[in-house]
Amino acid sequence: MSLTRTGAPDNHQHQQAVLLAHRYGLNLDEDEQEELAWIIEAMGLEEAEAECARSRAMLIRSGQLDPGGESVNESDECPEA
C-alpha cells in the first residue's frame, strides 16, 4: 500500500482513521494511521474501509488476529486511540 502522497491529511481524517482502525480491530502505528488518513482524504472513506477489511482478513489468515478482533500477541493491551 505505497502510494505517492500529495499533502498531509487534516486532523479530521486522522481521527476518522483511528476510529476506522479501531472498528476493524487494527492496532496501527503512527505511520499506518497517517497512511490510512491519506487514503480517506485522497480516495474516500469507502476505499479506506476496504483497505481495513483487507488488512483484517490478512491478519486473521496469518494467525496474528483472532476473528473476535484481538491481537494474538497483544490481547491484554488497550487499542491505540
Nearest Cα neighbor of 79 from 16, 37, 70, 38 is: 70
User: What is the block-wise mean pLDDT of the chain (81 residues), using blocks of 10 residues?
Assistant: 55 95 94 96 96 96 82 45 34
Burial of 67 from C-beta contacts in 10 A (0-12 / 13-18 / 19+): exposed
pLDDT for res 14: 94
What's the rounded Cα separation, in Å, for the pair 61 and 34? 25
Task: Report pLDDT for 77.
Answer: 41
Give residue for cell 472498528.
23
pTM of the model: 0.71
Cα–Cα distances (Å) from 60 to 11, 27, 68, in that order, read: 30, 13, 10
Cβ burial of 32 (10 Å; 0-12, 13-18, 19+) is middle
